Chains A and B, each alone.
Chain A
Amino acid sequence: MSLLKVMDLKVSYGGIEALKGISFAVEKGQIVTLIGANGAGKSTTLRTISGLVPVKSGTITYDGNVISGQQPQQIVAQGLCMVPEGRRVFPNLTVYENLRIGAYLRKDDITADVDHVYNLFPRLKERHWQLAGTLSGGEQQMLAVGRALMMRPKLLMMDEPSLGLAPLVIKSIFEIIQTLHEEGITILLVEQNANAALRIADYAFVLETGMLDVQGTGHDLLNDPAIKAAYLGESKK
């Protein structure tokens, strides 16, 4: 059974239709990626699933429940977490507080989860008491991921995690995504860095101006000449 199912989803911002009826599914245990150009509706898709943007029509089903129309806090409570675009760590909170606030809805002991995040990202442990605003971009991205892990997500959505980071940092971010995947977390990844995303993805969807265009396994799309031309920066020959 699919963990997440989006059916004919339409979203509009003040009269402009950002999503024109897209349908896709994310199977449990997979890494699924949404790729596409700027303004294609990738971020809108994630923001709508997480409840930040209202649905115009269509349904979103997560783990057997319809979640479209629910408040963000209800959706997060079910283990559907998002790492927002641009990291968005709380700059005025310490690293540790950022992790604690990630577990805001949990009432149980979070020590083990904090340790888990610090194991994944030893750099964060060193900066435990530092204000998150003073971290480097890469460290903030680690913190944003760690913060999302604090809710023990079943499905983790990541919006452009590689944006604005140095190539070496990007590499380690993608390694982390794979590590999380091996831990059993299903991942829905939005990326402009199509090359790297397709390499680790089990399945991929290509969004173009609010509609789903092509879909297939990561491997297939990597070798699709049309995709290569449009998104991977290689010319058709």
Chain B
Amino acid sequence: MWNTVFPYLLSGISVGGQYALIAIGYTMVYGILRLINFAHGDVFMVAGIVMVYMAASGLPLWLCIVLDLVATAIIGFAIERIAYKPLRTAPRMSIMISAIGVSYTLQNLVLYITGGLNQIYPKIPWISDSITIGSATTKVVTVVTPILTILLVFALVMLINHTKVGMAMRAVSKDFETSQLMGININSVISTTFVIGSFLAGVGSTLYFTNYTTVIQTSGAMPGLKAFVAAVFGGIGSVPGAVVGAFIIGIAENLIKGLDIILFKMGLISKPMGLAIFSDAFTFALLIIILAVKPTGLFGEKSIDKV
């Protein structure tokens, strides 16, 4: 029984870690701008494409990874400056529409460059190697992902709670105007948020595409959407919430993929029922339920404002 479940659990944890790295970008940007950055999944995809082209240029792979992360951070920064900053005082709906525009622009740009063909993601040594743990044979990346995710999240939480820029982020997320009166440059705080979010999405893309090996212009849509659901599930605006939500969704999704086999081994069903097909549906059903039952999510912002 355990031997049947374990491989699915392991890949669930791994996918959860990848979702978590994307979900942080959604939740941080929402926390500070109250914006659902629809382009975030596409930033993740572009990070994959940039890596493909960079590796093709013949640079050493480690340098490609570093440059890819830097490039992704710069793309996040540029998107905010070009598409969101000019709309700072506009109604929130306008900036959300702008985000949708950025999303399609990135997809079409990549479609134009790649011709819409699947791009093979470069094989990163070591993390692409196979490894056998107990009953599961998988890539090293599966094991590396959750560990790296947790380290990065820990570093991020420390940054938010114990540094000056983190304090400024928390202040700006509550009150733009008063933050300015404190001498905080809100534009640079917002840019920092986008840079961190995009950087983490870049890390996520390296791990994710090492697992799935191909990138195409729509590759960001599904993981982006799942990460968004994870952020809502965990309580949008909360970093730990997004991480917990992402792991839950990743694990649940992968267990459903293996549900046929698991139930069969348990003797509950006698023939496959094709339940794996519900793995995506589950995530979105979860979104509907959470929005209906507890819209603030697991760790939603407590309202402590006193008037």
Seen from chain A, the residues whose Cβ lies within 8 Å of a Cβ on chain B are 50-52, 71-73, 76-77, 81-82, 84, 88, 90-93, 97, 100-102, 104-105, 131, 133-137, 140, 147, 151
- Asked if B180 and A90 make an inter-chain contact with CB atoms under 8 angstroms apart, the answer reads no
Max count, chain B CB within 10 A of own CB: residue among A82, A88, A134, A140? A88
Q: Which of A82, A105, A137, A151 contacts B306 (CB 8 A)?
A: A137
Question: How far is A137 from B173 in the complex, measured between Cα atoms in Å?
Answer: 21
B115-123, B130-138, B163-171 - interface stretch:
B163-171
Q: Does B181 contact A (CB under 8 A)?
A: yes
Q: Does B105 contact A (CB under 8 A)?
A: no
Question: How far is A92 from B169 in the complex, measured between Cα atoms in Å?
Answer: 11
- Asked if A91 and B181 make an inter-chain contact with CB atoms under 8 angstroms apart, the answer reads no
- Asked if B306 and A90 make an inter-chain contact with CB atoms under 8 angstroms apart, the answer reads no
How far in angstroms is the closest Cβ of chain A from B180? 4
For B, the interface residue count at a CB cutoff of 8 angstroms equals 19
Q: A84-B177, A101-B168, A104-B164 are in contact. Are A92 and B304 (CB under 8 A)?
A: yes
Q: Does B183 contact A (CB under 8 A)?
A: yes
With A72-B181, A88-B177, A90-B171 already in contact, 11 other A-B pairs whose C-beta atoms are closer than 8 Å: A71-B185, A73-B185, A84-B177, A90-B170, A91-B174, A92-B304, A93-B167, A104-B183, A133-B306, A134-B304, A147-B182
- State which residues 286-307 of B face A: CB under 8 Å: 304-306
Q: Does B94 contact A (CB under 8 A)?
A: no
Question: How far is A102 from B180 in the complex, measured between Cα atoms in Å?
Answer: 11
**In the complex, chain B residues whose CB is within 8 Å of the CB of A77:** 183
Question: How far is A43 from B306 in the complex, measured between Cα atoms in Å?
Answer: 22
Question: How far is A93 from B174 in the complex, measured between Cα atoms in Å?
Answer: 10
Q: A133-B305, A135-B306 are in contact. Are A50 and B181 (CB under 8 A)?
A: yes
Across chains A and B, which 10 residue pairs bring their CB atoms closest together, nearest first? A133-B304, A105-B183, A72-B180, A76-B183, A88-B178, A73-B183, A104-B182, A104-B183, A90-B171, A91-B305
The main secondary structure of chain B at its interface with chain A is helix
Question: How far is A105 from B182 in the complex, measured between Cα atoms in Å?
Answer: 8
Q: Does B184 contact A (CB under 8 A)?
A: yes
Max count, chain A CB within 10 A of own CB: residue among B170, B178, B181? B181
Question: How far is A51 from B180 in the complex, measured between Cα atoms in Å?
Answer: 9
Seen from chain B, the residues whose Cβ lies within 8 Å of a Cβ on chain A are 164, 167-168, 170-171, 173-175, 177-178, 180-185, 304-306
How far in angstroms is the closest Cβ of chain B from A81? 7
How far in angstroms is the closest Cβ of chain A from B131? 43
- Asked if B171 and A93 make an inter-chain contact with CB atoms under 8 angstroms apart, the answer reads yes
- Asked if A73 and B184 make an inter-chain contact with CB atoms under 8 angstroms apart, the answer reads yes
Question: How far is A102 from B185 in the complex, measured between Cα atoms in Å?
Answer: 13
**In the complex, chain B residues whose CB is within 8 Å of the CB of A88:** 175, 177-178
Q: Which of B180, B183, B185, B306 contacts A91 (CB 8 A)?
A: B306
How far in angstroms is the closest Cβ of chain B from A82? 5
Question: How far is A135 from B305 in the complex, measured between Cα atoms in Å?
Answer: 10
- Asked if B177 and A91 make an inter-chain contact with CB atoms under 8 angstroms apart, the answer reads no
In the complex, residue of chain B having the shortest beta-carbon distance to the beta carbon of A51: B180
In the complex, residue of chain B having the shortest beta-carbon distance to the beta carbon of A148: B181
Question: How far is A23 from B173 in the complex, measured between Cα atoms in Å?
Answer: 36
Max count, chain B CB within 10 A of own CB: residue among A52, A137, A140? A52
How far in angstroms is the closest Cβ of chain B from A76? 4
In the complex, residue of chain B having the shortest beta-carbon distance to the beta carbon of A150: B182
- Asked if A101 and B304 make an inter-chain contact with CB atoms under 8 angstroms apart, the answer reads no
Question: How far is A181 from B186 in the complex, measured between Cα atoms in Å?
Answer: 31
**In the complex, chain B residues whose CB is within 8 Å of the CB of A71:** 180, 185
Question: How far is A84 from B171 in the complex, measured between Cα atoms in Å?
Answer: 15
Q: A131-B304, A134-B304 are in contact. Are A102 and B167 (CB under 8 A)?
A: no
Q: A91-B174, A93-B171, A104-B168 are in contact. Are A52 and B304 (CB under 8 A)?
A: no
Question: How far is A135 from B306 in the complex, measured between Cα atoms in Å?
Answer: 8
Question: How far is A81 from B178 in the complex, measured between Cα atoms in Å?
Answer: 11
**In the complex, chain A residues whose CB is within 8 Å of the CB of B167:** 93, 97, 100-101
